[in-house]
Amino acid sequence: MSIIGQGIDRLDGRLKVTGGARYSAEHPVPRLAQAVIVQSTIASGKVVSIDDSVARSLPGVLTIMTYLNAPRLPTPKPEAGAPPAKPPPLLQDATIKYNGQPVAVVVADTLEHARHAAQSLKIRYAATPAVLGMQAAKKSLTTPPPRRPGEKTDSTRGNAVGAFSQAAARIDAMYTTPIETHNAMEPHATIAAWHGDELTLWDASQNISGVQKTAAKTFGIAPEKIRVLCPFLGGGFGSKGSAWTHVMLAAMAAKLSGTPVKLALERTQMFGPVGSRPMTEQRMRLGAARDGSLKSLMHDTVSSNSFVLDFSEPSTIITKSLYKTESLQTTQRMATMNVGAHTYTRAPGEASGSFALECAIDEMAYQLKMDPIAFRLQNYAERDPEKELPFSSKSLRECYRIGAEKFGWSKRTPEPRSMRAGRMLAGWGMASATYPANRDAAKASAMIRADGTALVRCGTHDLGTGTYTIMTQIAAEALGLPVNKVRFELGDTLQPESPGAGGSKTTASVGPAVYEAAKAARVKLVAMAIGDRESPLSGLSPDGVSVENGWLIDRQRPDRREPMVTVIARHGGTAVEAFSEAKPGDEKKQFAMHSFGAVFVEVHVDPDLGTIRVPRVVAVYGIGKLMNEKTAHSQLMGGIVWGIGMGLLEKTEMDWRTGRAVNANLADYHVPVNADIGSIDVSVVDEDDPHINVLGAKGIGEIGIVGVAAALGNAVYHATGKRVRDLPITLDKLI
């Protein structure tokens, strides 16, 4: 039986529940000082003066770093062909661009001392008028550059405006989504330690080599002089994909203090300095013929943007390729304001865009009096209409069919308010999901040791998703060893380089590298045996030897065999080591590669109070091969849970007079808790995609959230007859 795919328990589970897993803020470092950031209280303007006379005299205070004394940083060279990057606010001048921007770092012997001193700083500001809120920011829209070279920001196929005006059925509706804040369970934290001109960073990061490169550029030193470590992460969701200002400030404060420094952000500081999902306004226009064929599909997105860093939430992305349509038009604009940076948030674009698209599809199905699945099937894209390529695999039709069957969709009466659950209004809704199958180059090493164990390494990340576990499974299978003889190490830039854990690509990128490295080590070992006259396998061809459970076995005569350890012992006990670099080929030129899924939800809405409960979700995905059934299901389930949060609960409430988030804590920023979640039934269509990569894995980190908010919106409409187009769908919008 194959080791890959088995739902074995998380190998890091015991360490995590016993406290043995060290997170970034927990590494014991001698002479470690504690740092806190002081944040601006205005959204735009300048620091005029900082009075630190009281703070300096307080016990334990080591350093008060402001723009006046912060180490001067080299001016970064602009990247070839790229627009000049906005310099991150690293205390190089007095300018303030958002409310909450770090204006000082206080370092002391204890956290309490650092906090006390930070609170006693007297900072005076000169405020200038800030751009706050969509209305103000939309006065000056900008167009983001294409996400990748060769792609377009806006898409046009045919005459979408003309086809819309002539269509028999039309939907023209505006959808909005709010700023959402990632709120990983583990807040961001960095420990920075200098040894001469060498820097070590323990950083809560889903992109350690990215942090290494950014730090190298920021400080003008060679990347090899910087080591970044992150063996364990308590979630990232895109927020930990960047090297935010606190990482560099920790290193600067450590330099200035002459001692290692820890800077761990508080929950409240998650709201602003470390990214968030932009808010969006999305106009959807759909034109269809009476038979249900889409004649025109138009999607215009404006997403909020920060003066600190350009980022656009590409909500139009799935509209370009999810359905077949006669004509299409999509636009993507940014409305820039004085807020903290926006960034990648689980399924950036797909999550917010699917809310607008999949609700508008539902609205059109109602107008046409068609079943929403039938309407989707009528416009099923057999090929990717944007790239004009066949899909490497696509099981969306099966997802609809299996999901409908499991959910009992045929028992749905389509009229709004037509179904009840006791005195509750019952609503059944569904939506499609899709996410691209991404892959990047990755390196790995594998070593079979004299004691019969193997050590496999890649500087990748485990966000809590199961990377340790599945990479061990992949390596074990390729090595011919049982899982308990294989140790997989990650989270250190001294290990072979991995791409960042973003875009749901770790399995598809690192998996093949681990597989190839492990296989290469096994091949070396087999070569050693068959070239050795003392081996019972001497003289066999490499293909004639199988490796199972730590034994090398003659395929023809299985009684001729010997353990791996014997081969290594005869060769002096030296470990057998191999490296690999696995890269995508040109398969993306031949195929469009996506995961797909269908999400079905039931909601119960209190007719008097408007409260919404979600007793059940049924979701079916076509995502290639699973590396571990258990961790895969957990990932998809986690995405769905966040989708319920996105649909019903989450919103970063901004005070647009000051530019400050007013619910910057987990009491007021609502995420789903156990009591909010009913049954979640996740299943996966068996998919064999030979084009994607050697493992056939498409990546599952993000697709789980996609479509959930739309399915909820559609279910709430079915329950109540009210179409809520503004997330989150809260009771005040229903009564």
Q: Which residues are catalytic?
A: 702
Q: Does 241 bind ligand MOS (CB under 6 A)?
A: yes
Q: Does 237 bind ligand MOS (CB under 6 A)?
A: yes
Whether the bond into 728 is cis, omega within 30 of 0: yes
**Total residue length of the chain:** 735
Closest CA to 66 of 39, 45, 42, 85: 39
**Beta carbon nearer to ligand MOS, 102 or 503:** 503
- As to burial, measured by CB atoms within 10 angstroms (0-12 exposed, 13-18 middle, 19+ buried), residue 122 is exposed
**Smallest distance from ligand MOS to CB 361, Å:** 24
**Beta carbon nearer to ligand MOS, 219 or 237:** 237
Rounded-to-integer distance, Cα 436 and Cα 447, Å: 33
Rounded-to-integer distance, Cα 618 and Cα 612, Å: 17
Residue nearest to ligand MOS (CB): 238
Rounded-to-integer distance, Cα 560 and Cα 115, Å: 69
**Smallest distance from ligand MOS to CB 174, Å:** 25
H helical segments located in 340-490: 350-368, 372-378, 396-407, 467-479
Q: Does 502 bind ligand MOS (CB under 6 A)?
A: yes
Q: Does 639 bind ligand MOS (CB under 6 A)?
A: no
Contact status, residue 474 vs residue 627, Cβ threshold 8 Å: yes
Rounded-to-integer distance, Cα 326 and Cα 379, Å: 10
Site for ligand MOS in 668-727 (CB under 6 A): 702
Closest CA to 208 of 618, 484, 491, 612: 491
Q: Which of 5, 187, 238, 292 binds ligand MOS (CB under 6 A)?
A: 238
Which helix (H) or strand (E) segment holds residue 48: the answer is strand 45-51
Six-digit token pair at 363? 């609205």
Ramachandran category for residue 451: left, alpha or beta (phi over 0 → left; psi -120 to 50 → alpha): alpha
Window 506-525: contact mask with ligand MOS (x via CB under 6 A): --------------------
H helical segments located in 175-237: 208-219
**Beta carbon nearer to ligand MOS, 311 or 366:** 311
Residue with tokens 């950083």: 203
Site for ligand MOS in 26-45 (CB under 6 A): none
Six-digit token pair at 468? 């340790």
**Beta carbon nearer to ligand MOS, 438 or 472:** 438
Q: Which of 503, 638, 647, 713 binds ligand MOS (CB under 6 A)?
A: 503
Q: Does 311 bind ligand MOS (CB under 6 A)?
A: no
**Smallest distance from ligand MOS to CB 700, Å:** 12
**Smallest distance from ligand MOS to CB 399, Å:** 22
Candidate ranges 32-40, 138-146, 230-238, 425-433; the one touching ligand MOS (CB under 6 A): 230-238
**Beta carbon nearer to ligand MOS, 562 or 650:** 650
**Beta carbon nearer to ligand MOS, 34 or 438:** 438
Rounded-to-integer distance, Cα 240 and Cα 232, Å: 12
In this structure, what DSSP letter does residue 559 have? Answer: T
Rounded-to-integer distance, Cα 574 and Cα 431, Å: 56
Rounded-to-integer distance, Cα 145 and Cα 143, Å: 7
**Smallest distance from ligand MOS to CB 649, Å:** 19
**Smallest distance from ligand MOS to CB 243, Å:** 14
Window 332-361: contact mask with ligand MOS (x via CB under 6 A): ------------xxx-x-------------
**Smallest distance from ligand MOS to CB 503, Å:** 5
Total residues contacting ligand MOS by CB under 6 A comes to 11
**Beta carbon nearer to ligand MOS, 351 or 444:** 351
| Residues in touch with ligand MOS (CB under 6 A) | 236-238, 241, 344-346, 348, 502-503, 702
